[in-house]
Each structure stands twice: as C-alpha cells, then as structure tokens.
Structure 1
Amino acid sequence: MDKFTKLTGIAAPMPLVNIDTDMIIPKQFLKTIQRSGLGKNLFDELRYDAAGNENPDFVLNQPAYRASEIIVAGDNFGCGSSREHAPWALLDFGIRCVISTSFADIFYNNCFKNGILPIVMPQEVVDVLMDDARRGSNARITVDLEEMKVVTSDGQEFPFTLDPFRRHCLLNGLDDIGLTMEKSSAIDGFEAKMETARPWI
C-alpha cells in the first residue's frame, strides 16, 4: 500500500448528501476481485448516460476535475452496502482523500485498508473547502497527514484529528498484511521454537 504523507491536488466538489456505495461503484461491477480497473466505472450512473456517453454536467467529467485526487463531499459519504469495491474504485481513479462531515462506518474503515484518507470536518469547514474546490484545477488543496491539517489554495489552515494507529498505518503504507509483516521476526522466532519443541507438528 502506498504511503500517505502529504498530498497537494485538485479537489472535486461533490455536495450531494448520502452518496452511497452503489453510487460510487454500481453492483454490476462487483464481479471482480481485482482492485485495479474499477476507476473507469467510478460513479458510473452519474458519469455516463444509458448509451455510455459521458455526462458533461458531472464534476469528474469536467476538464478541471478529471485529475482530481481529493473529493469534498456532502454528509454521510459511503453509506449503503459494505462493498470494499467502493474504495478500490476511488483509488483506481486516483482519489487519495475524501473530506466530509461524516462517513458510514464500514466505508470509513475500508478506506484506511486501501490507502485512502477520510477526513471528518465540521460543516463550516467543509463549506469553505467546497467553495475552494469550486474554483477549479488552479485551486489546489493540501492535505498534510504529518501536520494533521488541510490547507486551502489561499492558505487557510484547518486542523483535523485522526486515530493515532490509523495515522501510523497510512504514514507507513501499512495494510493488514503489512502490519502482520512488521511482526515477521517474532513470527519466525515462534515457528523456530515450535519446530524444536514439537517437531511432529
């Protein structure tokens, strides 16, 4: 998993509330167990019409936001079913951070397992960030996980809080497998002792 330390990128404004996981990645794309390739179907029903043509009104189809790495979203982002394909699709598109006033618990947890930083901010701060994001690709937002702050394109700074363990995992690029591998020497030592003590196993 890629480390997350500091990101300066284009933020896409998505003020809709209750953006659920079926909106993020519709159910027909859940047949794969591959984490790659889902970015093209991110927000599929919003991005494309029935014939597969791009909807020019959808924010990620607009030239200024095609390379977005941050989403500033409405309340309750990621609600609905528990599909891990939702953060897979976001990450495959290039989204590394989502800022909202609240997230659904399962989606929130799945983000950390996939290298995405979900940040909870008060409504008044999200409003400022949403306004900044609406300025387009020249207004880049900085998300600094080391300093625990979000900085707008004009220099306004907003601190955020995060569980220290989750922060450690993102800063060091540790998913569940990575956390296990941190204990590899202890695991190897245990297995060596077991082989000596119980060779019949």
Structure 2
Amino acid sequence: MKAVERVSGRAIPYGAKNVDTDVIIPAKWLKTITREGLGEGAFETVRQQSGNVFDDPAYDGAPILIAGDNFGCGSSREHAAWALLDMGVRAVIAPSFSDIFSGNAVKNGIVPVVLPAEAVDRLLDVAREGGEVTVDLETSTVTTDYQDRFPFELDPFRRHCLLNGLDEVALTLERDDAISTYEHRRETARGWLATGTDTNANAIREEGRP
C-alpha cells in the first residue's frame, strides 16, 4: 500500500447523500479477478446521466471526492474502495461514512475525512469554483486556495497505517522477528507439530497397543 501524507488537487463536487457501494461500483463488475480497470465501472449509473461531474473534463484525474452523509453504505464489498483508487481518488470528504467502507478505504490507502456538513458545503463550493483542496494527514487539516482551514480527526491507528503505507500484510511483517522467535520456540518444544509426526503415537503403534 502506498503511504499517504498529503493529497492535493481538484476535488470532485459530488455531494450526494446515502451513496451505497452498488452505486460506487455496480455488482456486475464484481466478477473481475483483478483490481485494475474497476475505475471504468465506478459510478456507472451516475455517469449515464447527462452533465454528471464524473465525466466533466474539469475534474479529470481529481484525487479528492466530496460526498454527502453516509457515503459507502450498503454492502461490504471492498471493490468500492478499489474502484475509487483506480479512478485516482486518494481521499474522500464527507459528513459521515459507513463503518465498513471507511475501514476498507484505509486498508487501500484512501483517506476518509469526516467534516461537519457546513465545512463540506463550503468545500463543494470551492470545488465548483475551480479551487484546489488539500488534505494533510500530518496536520490533520483540510485547506483550500481561499484560506479555508478545517481540522479533522482520524483514528490514530488508521492515521499511522496511512502515513506509513501499512496494510494487514505490512503490519504482520513488522512483527516478523517476534513471529520467528515464537515459531522457533514452538518447534523446539513441540517439534512433532511442525513435522506432523506424533512420536508418542508412533511408539504406541509399534508396540501393538490400541
């Protein structure tokens, strides 16, 4: 997972509330065996509408998405985070998120920023006016070209993972020495677990005992 310290650029002023994961990535796209290309199916039903923000050239490649309350509700599909990432989105700003989506976002290097509705409305205006938005994880603030500054809170562990690019695999590897020490100690004390051979059971069978 790529570490995230700062995400800056144009922001997509979506703003819709209660956007579920089926809107983010429709179920028919879940048959893929790779994460690549899911951005093509992201917000497919929204993109069928004329004048939608996702097909507006002004927001092409924008790394930030601004949404409404309860973003990412519905199913637990991690494909929703994968689709956003494939679009180039590295941060989503909203008044609230589904807990599962928020967790999936962090695991894939996307920053879920919770701000009050008034702040989100202001950022939507800034995005529509063409201003840039910056999400800074080091200072836990969102700023704009117009001197707006909004502090946000993020779980310390999630913030640590994002800043250091740590997913579950990387977190496990951080404990590699401790794991190796345990495995060595276990093999010394209970070697038959590693070999699949129970020496006591073998001895009993050799003696013909039941």
**TM-score, reference length from structure 2:** 0.89
Structure with greater helix share of residues: 2
- Distance in 2 between residues matched to 1:117 and 1:173, nearest whole Å: 12
- Distance in 2 between residues matched to 1:173 and 1:114, nearest whole Å: 9
SS at match of 1:30: helix
- Distance in 1 between residues matched to 2:61 and 2:50, nearest whole Å: 15
- Distance in 1 between residues matched to 2:138 and 2:108, nearest whole Å: 18
Partner of 1:134: 128
- Distance in 2 between residues matched to 1:21 and 1:173, nearest whole Å: 24
Counterpart amino acid of 2:192? W
SS at match of 2:10: strand
- Distance in 2 between residues matched to 1:154 and 1:47, nearest whole Å: 30
Partner of 1:106: 100
Q: Give 1:32 deviation, angstroms.
A: 2.0
- Distance in 1 between residues matched to 2:108 and 2:144, nearest whole Å: 25
1:183-198 to 2 correspondence within 5 Å?
Answer: 183-198=175-190
CA RMSD of superposed structures (Å):
1.1
Which residue of the other structure, out of 52, 67, 74, is the alignment partner of 1:73? Answer: 67
Counterpart amino acid of 2:61? A
SS at match of 1:109: helix
1:32-181 to 2 correspondence within 5 Å?
Answer: 32-48=32-48, 56-136=50-130, 139-181=131-173
- Kept after mapping to 2: 8 A contact 1:60/1:68: no
Alignment: residue pair count:
193
Cα deviation, 1:13-66, whole Å, max 9, x if unaligned, reads 012111111110001011124222201111011113xxxxxx551101111101
- Kept after mapping to 2: 8 A contact 1:56/1:62: no
- Distance in 1 between residues matched to 2:33 and 2:71, nearest whole Å: 23
**TM-score, reference length from structure 1:** 0.92
Counterpart amino acid of 1:179? L
Cα deviation, 1:63-121, whole Å, max 9, x if unaligned, reads 11011110111111111111110000000110010000111111111111111111110
5+ residue gaps, structure 2, are 194-210
- Kept after mapping to 2: 8 A contact 1:36/1:92: yes
Counterpart amino acid of 1:166? R
SS at match of 1:8: strand
- Distance in 1 between residues matched to 2:145 and 2:13, nearest whole Å: 14
| Structure with higher RCO (Cα < 8 A, 6+ apart) | 1
SS at match of 1:99: strand
5+ residue gaps, structure 1, are 49-54
Cα deviation, 1:115-159, whole Å, max 9, x if unaligned, reads 1111110011111111111113xx211110011000012121111
